[in-house]
Amino acid sequence: MPEGKITLEDILKLLSKYEIKELEGVKIEGGDIEIEFEMGAYPNFQAIGMELGLAAYHLARVAMMLGFPVQQLFAQQQPAYPAQIPQVPTQLKEEEKIELIEKKFEPYRQEWSGYVEEVQLGATPKEGGTRKYTIKLGGEKSLPFYLFDAEQPHLPSISVDVFDRAVPLPKAIRTHYEDVMGHPDEWAKKVIKDFGADAVTIHLISTDPLLDDTPPHEAVKTVEEVLQAVKCPIIVGGSGNKEKDPVLLEKVAEVAEGERVLLASATLDTDWERVGRAAKEHGHCVLAWTQMDINSQRTLNRYLLKRIGLPRDSLVMDTTTAALGYGLDYAYTNMERARLAALKGDEDLAFPISSGTTNAWGAREAWMKESPLEGDYSWGMREHRGPLWEILTGLTLSLAGVDIFMMMHPVSVAVLKELIHTLGGKKKEVEYEDWITSEL
């Protein structure tokens, strides 16, 4: 393989050594179009031609553009529904008599009986852990960002993916992690310090029997290192190997005792019982992951709660994230239905939702240099397309009810966070001009 540049062919060659087996962690779901990289393997990205640092540069620019505090300009801002109708011209021109029919807008009030369970990730020393801060997920009593219906106690958080070994990534992402690849502790520090992540998700993919086959007791050392390196709450995932993951997560639960780690994941086709019990015994949370099927989600949640006795404040759901263009409609509607059910009082679905938003990078539109199809108009600049693909995937699902995003591109993280804070009411007034007559 030529140094410094991996082409698609190289990756394929490398992967062909593992044959089909390397696909253990790759799951085609729902509509058979979305690849779920549960183990964090990104096997078929073409990774050429991305300019270094471009995205970081844009990150700075995006950040610059947003959030100019200019309260004085808006001090006179009208409330959303002023009771008084402003004066309007009513004098007559010509003969026809036209008058404004004065109306008062009465917003429809919607009330929900249910609410989403509150789940805390991480524990401070006082609480038996070593985290400097904790994250609370859930607690919603209305649809996302409907602050006019009910207060939203916790806005969605963003966790950034970290891997315990080198992984093939699309170049747009890889550029940002090249210096920390193979050093999960440094990687974790970087995403917190430089990219503004609220949490990190450490994927112990080296445990994959087809990669390094690291034994669980070895692999969990990385978890300890990361817990040392960063003081944020952490999420720990396995390799996607159905047999080994539960054993691994059980070990993780032991070494991270008291830290309220989110164990990713318990699924119906693995030993969910083992993961659930380990979480319960050592005070962690469980990510219950199903394949875009609301009934399976209900079943799995019920198993964990009723059969294991997992406390309700320790369960997070992953209803599956499909990328924009590759089943996002299913993912969105499935999540929205789960959240609506929760708000209507379905206690089996009343849990915070997690989204593997990084899946957006599985869409060829996110990483391919140009359209492979002749009839298409140009796809445009890849260094913007990729982050936008991840942003729009996350943004769409944020409106369905996601409480924690797992993402990778720093620009995507920054922009989605900006939007969450904006809709969540955390932003000040921003000055803008009239677009109608401006030349732009």
Q: Which of residues 353-372 bind another protein (CB under 8 A)?
A: 364-365, 371-372
220 or 341, CB closer to another protein? 341
Binding to another protein in span 375-394, by CB under 8 A: 375-382, 384-385, 387-389, 391-392
Helix, coil or strand: residue 266: strand
The binder of another protein chosen from 32, 232, 315, 407 (CB under 8 A): 32
Q: What is the DSSP letter of 351?
A: S
Cis peptide before 355 (omega within 30 of 0): no
User: Cα dist. 299→284, 293, 307, 318 in Å?
Assistant: 21, 10, 11, 13
Contact stretch for another protein (CB under 8 A) within 269-277, 300-308, 351-359, 416-424:
416-424
Nearer to another protein, 311 or 424 (CB): 424
Give Cβ neighbours of residue 341 (< 8 Å, ≥ 6 apart): 294, 349
Q: Where are the alpha helices (DSSP H) in 138-260?
A: 171-177, 184-193, 216-229, 244-255
Which one of residues 47, 135, 324, 407 is an interface residue with another protein (CB under 8 A)?
324
The whole-angstrom separation of Cα 419 and Cα 427 is 10
Q: Which of 20, 76, 95, 113 binds another protein (CB under 8 A)?
A: 20
Q: By CB under 8 A, tell whether 269 contacts another protein.
A: no
Gap between the Cα atoms of 137 and 172, Å rounded: 30
Is 106 a residue that touches another protein (CB under 8 A)? yes
Rounded least distance, CB 440 to another protein, Å: 5
Closest-CA residue to 319 (of 341, 205, 418): 341
Q: Is 219 in the site for another protein (CB under 8 A)?
A: no
**343: helix, strand or coil:** helix
Out of 110, 194, 224, 369, name the contact with another protein by CB under 8 A. 110
CB of 381 to another protein, least distance (A): 5
Q: Which of residues 130-189 bind another protein (CB under 8 A)?
A: 145-148
Which one of the spans 187-195, 242-250, 254-262, 323-331 is the region binding another protein (CB under 8 A)?
323-331
Among 53, 65, 224, 309, binds another protein (CB under 8 A): 65
Phi, psi of 60 (to 5 degrees): -60, -40
Q: Based on CB atoms, which residue is closest to another protein, 35 or 287?
A: 35
* Location of structure tokens 């992690």: 177
Residue 2 vs 89, nearer CB to another protein: 89
49 binds another protein (CB under 8 A): no
**Member of 39, 227, 402, 419 binding another protein (CB under 8 A):** 419
Q: Where does this chain touch another protein (CB under 8 A) — which range of 26-34, 116-124, 173-181, 241-249?
A: 26-34
What's the maximum distance between 2 C-alpha atoms anywhere in the chain?
A: 90
Q: What are phi and psi of 56, to 5 degrees?
A: -65, -40
- Judged by CB under 8 A, the residue of 10, 56, 66, 258 near another protein is 66
Tell whether residue 295 is a contact of another protein (CB under 8 A): no
Structure tokens at 133: 């801060």
Angle (CA) 152 417 71, round 5°: 75
Q: Which is nearer to another protein, 35 or 279 (CB)?
A: 35
Among positions 336, 357, 358, 359, the unique one binding another protein when judged by CB under 8 A: 336
> Measured from the CB atom, is 279 or 415 closer to another protein?
415
Provide the β-strand partners of residue 36. 27
Least Å distance, CB 248 to another protein, is 23
In the complex, the smallest distance separating the C-beta of residue 20 from another protein, rounded to whole angstroms, is 6
Q: How far is the CB of 254 from another protein (least distance, A)?
A: 33
Closest CA to 110 of 340, 336, 337, 294: 340
298 belongs to the binding site for another protein (CB under 8 A): no
What is the nearest approach in angstroms of another protein to the Cβ of residue 34? 9
Collect all residues with Cβ–Cβ distance below 8 Å to 80 and sequence separation of at least 6: 148
**x-or-dash pattern for another protein, window 77-96, by CB under 8 A?**
-x-xxxx-xx-xx---x--x
Helix boundaries (H) for 40-156: 54-65, 71-74
Task: Determine the size of the site formed for another protein (CB under 8 A).
Answer: 108
Q: Are 232 and 96 in contact (CB under 8 A)?
A: no
Partnered with residue 358 across adjacent β-strands are none
Q: What is the DSSP string of 221-240?
A: HHHHHHHHH--S-EEEE--S
Contact yes or no for 382/369 (Cβ under 8 A): yes
> C-beta of 155: minimal distance to another protein in Å?
12
